[in-house]
Structures are given as C-alpha cells and as structure tokens.
Amino acid sequence: MLRIGIIGTGGIADAHIGGYLAFGEQCQIVALADVLPGRATQKAEAFGLDAAAYDDPAAMIADADLDVVSICTPPSTHAALAIAALDAGIHVLVEKPMAPSLEECDAMLAAQERSGRLLSVVAQNRFRDDLATLKHVVGSGILGSISHVRVDSAWWRGLPYYDLWWRGTWEKEGGGCTLNHAIHHIDLLLWLLGRPAEVTAMLANTQHDNAEVEDLSVAVLRYDTGLAQLTSSVVHHGEQQEIVIQGANARISQPWSVAAERSRPDGFPEPDGDARLVDRIETLVAEREPLTHHGHAGQIGDLLAAIREGRDPISTGQDGRNAVEVVTAIYKAGFEHEFVALPLPASDPYYRAGQLVAHAPHFHEKQRSLIEAAS
C-alpha cells in the first residue's frame, strides 16, 4: 500500500484526492500540507480522510514516511518542493506547469536522476478518450505528412480571477494564459507532433487590468513538414477549444470529425471527397480500446502502475520540461519580436530562473491581491 502526501490544498488538490481515492486498494492518503494554517485540516475533514495535517510542507516530507507526493501549489514553488521530495526518496507528481524556467526544470530532472524515483508532470488531457483518439490516428500514419495544426486553447476568466495574490504576476505565476492555461494544449501538441524547430509569437493583455501578464497570445510553430498555429486565451467567450490536424491525406479534429478530399484530374476536390478513406479512419477509431480512467485519475493510475512495474509514466518530467521550453520560446519571441529556434540552449538568457521576470513587459500593475479566492 503506497503512502500518499499532498502539498497544497486549494481547488486542484480535489482532483488529486479523487484520483488517489479511485485506487484505494493500491494507495492511501496519509498526509496533507498547506502553508495557510488550518487549511490542510479542513481539506482532510472535507473528504473524510484519516490523514495528518501539516502547516509546513518540509515537515511533512521529513516526517510522514511517504512513497508519493502530489504538489498542487503555485508554479514558483514547484522546483524547491519537488527537489526536496525526490531527494527524500519520494516519487513526485507535480501540477502543471512544471516550473517557471528551464533551469528549474533541469534541476528537478537532476534530482530525479540522482534519487532513482519517478517524476511525473500533470498532463491530464492525455487521459481523455477524445484526445487519445487523435494520438492513435496520428500515430497510425494514415493521415500522411502533417501540413498544418490549429490549436485553440480558448478559455474565459473574469476580472476577479487575477485578484488572488499569486495570479497575474510574472514572479509568482510565472506567466499568463500561455503558461498556465495553454500548457495543456502545448503538451498535447508535443505529444502529437514532437518538438517544433522554430517559434514566433505576439502577446497582449486585452481585458484584465489587474494582471502584469498576457491574457492572449498567438504563436506560430514551424515543423519539418508544416506549421502549427496556437492561440492561448482567457478572453474567449464560450471557451470553444479545438484541435484541427490537416494531413496530406485527411483532416481530423477534436471535437471529433474527419474529412478527406480526393482530387479531380484538374486538381480541384471531388464533391464527395474520399469516402473510403474516411471510413477507414472511422473504423480505426472504433477499434481503439477506451480508457478505463480519465483525467487526473487516469494519470494517477498510470503513475501507480509505473511505480509497480518499474517503468516511466506516460507523462514524464522530460515531457513537462518540453512544454515549458515551448512556452519560454513563445515568451522570448513575443518579448523580443523575433523567431526563436529550438532547442533553447542553457546559454540563452531565457533559460535561467528570473530572466523571464527581468525581461517581461508589465501590461498592467497588480492593484488587488487577495489571500483567498472569492467564492
């Protein structure tokens, strides 16, 4: 029975608690920690957990005899907490984004290497059937070479969202919607296509006057055979999120749809397209085995299995770092008005902790700062 600890007991901790409770025959939540006095106790009581409560995460790491710890705190704290847990011999599941800088990500990976423990970064959308379907079809090769991918990471947040003390600041949150919302879609893009060769971008704050950070960015990523277009936003009403993948042979989309053209002798498309190819793709999708667990529960189940089987989890620390690298390239491209080649070397100023804060524009100055989010 694996012993589980959770650091940070805000809203996202609920998803972790629910995920571990789904595997009650394999693990037990024995400790919760939060720097706000009494908050860990309140969370334990809310879920009926027989778990020790700590106001000091370091004390929990030292004293609770843990096998796995979930880190559900603001991004600026991820590296120090993860390194402390790994060095204590504890497997780590850390919320996205992995850390605000590549330097911190690499320090976390170094701690994983010397500890021999697992480090997994939350990428719960890999554990959704609709998105696993895209991965399955792309991996089959049936689409041919990829020409274009359009990713809309479209969210909407009202003005009070950035009133919480750590949100909307480059130092504490590490960035705006590109880092903290689109990180999900960036991870999916990398999962589907791998690392791009080059990135350019533009950033803006269009609607949130209590945030230093961007609330909208548009990036173009160059791959060997095509382009990807990423919109990151917290200003899109309706939150209509979409991934559209255009291959040489066909197009697939999430929400799910498929289309395939067939050429007439003059190069224009046949009116009915290539129905047989569409049928082949739909059959491929229908034959895929659905996931047993979804979202955080799916990822937690995979991590527990990885520990048991001595393998890497589906979402590794390296995967988390790769997503942060693309975010860093988007920010550098937007700040400096240039094209940024990948991979980013350690000699690049934007690689280092604190450099993003030093170079980032303040779209607005933060005026309102609340300890607790409004309910």
**Roughly how many angstroms between the first and final C-alpha of the chain, as a whole number?**
36
Helix runs in the chain, H state only: 11-21, 39-47, 57-63, 78-87, 102-115, 129-140, 177-180, 183-193, 275-286, 295-309, 317-336, 355-359
Q: What is residue 218's predicted lDDT score, i.e. its pLDDT?
A: 98
Q: What is residue 282's predicted lDDT score, i.e. its pLDDT?
A: 98
What would the pLDDT profile of 193-211 be if each residue is shown by its tens digit? 999 999 999 999 999 999 9
The sheet carrying 91-94 orders its strands as 52-54, 27-33, 2-7, 68-71, 91-94, 119-121
221: number of Cβ within 10 Å: 27
Domain architecture of the chain: domains with CATH: 2-124+295-315 (3.40.50.720), 126-292+323-359 (3.30.360.10)
What percent of the residues of the chain are helix, what percent strand, and what percent coil, each to the nearest 5? 40, 20, 40
Instruction: Report the alpha-carbon distance of residue 207 to residue 72 in Å, rounded.
Output: 27
Q: What is residue 372's predicted lDDT score, i.e. its pLDDT?
A: 67
Q: Which residues of the chain have pLDDT under 70?
A: 372-375
What would the pLDDT profile of 244-269 be if each residue is shown by its tens digit? 999 999 999 999 999 999 999 999 99
Neighbouring residues of 246: CB distance < 8 A, sequence distance ≥ 6: 146, 147, 148, 149, 226
Q: What is residue 373's predicted lDDT score, i.e. its pLDDT?
A: 59
Instruction: Report the alpha-carbon distance of residue 216 to residue 178 in Å, rounded.
Output: 8
pTM of the model: 0.94
Instruction: Report the alpha-carbon distance of residue 155 to residue 181 in Å, rounded.
Output: 8
Query: Per-residue DSSP letters for 183-210?
Result: HHHHHHHHHHH---SEEEEEEE--S-TT
Helix (H, G, I), strand (E, B) or coil at 45: helix
Query: Alpha carbon 35 to chain centroid distance?
Result: 24
Neighbouring residues of 101: CB distance < 8 A, sequence distance ≥ 6: 174, 324, 328, 351, 352, 353, 354, 355, 356
Strand partners, 216: 204, 233
